[in-house]
Amino acid sequence: MRRHAFYYRYTVDELGLLNELWELVRVKANLFTPSKKPVARESTRDGRPRRVYDAPRTPWERLKEFDEADRAAGGPGFIPDDKREEIEHTLATVNPAELVRRIHDIQDRLEALAAPRTARLARRMGPDMAYLNKTLARIAGVEPEDDETPQADAD
């Protein structure tokens, strides 16, 4: 979810928007976003391994293919008929461009609500000085000056 809602600090007030965003992202990812999956490994002419991918398909297309193969083999299938009709109806009625516009709109609204709060929290907490001191010491090439670093024995 952080990929789509970013790393802001949200409250219960934004929960409705986050749930709506999650539902839209789920529909987009499973019904409209094709992906390639590795199916084999081959060796190139110089002996280096290389992955071989199948053609890009959406997760829904992959599941439908497995369902049809299972039904052809005499099995019950993976998708109940009512769920299949519901998903096919969603595919027929949802405009992918409008879906993306709605996702971006919700992201903009969430950012407007949560960005100031997140910035206030970051200012109040301040920078992580222990980490910063260690990083600066490493860049300068000297030992960090904190008490947590074990000192070497002088023997």
CA pair distance 34, 133, nearest whole angstrom: 45
Residues of the chain with pLDDT under 50: 149-150, 153-155
pLDDT of residue 4: 79
CA dihedral 79, 84, 86, 87 (to 10 degrees): 90
CA distances, 46 to each of 42, 135, 146, 151 (Å): 11, 42, 51, 50
pTM score: 0.68
pLDDT of residue 153: 47
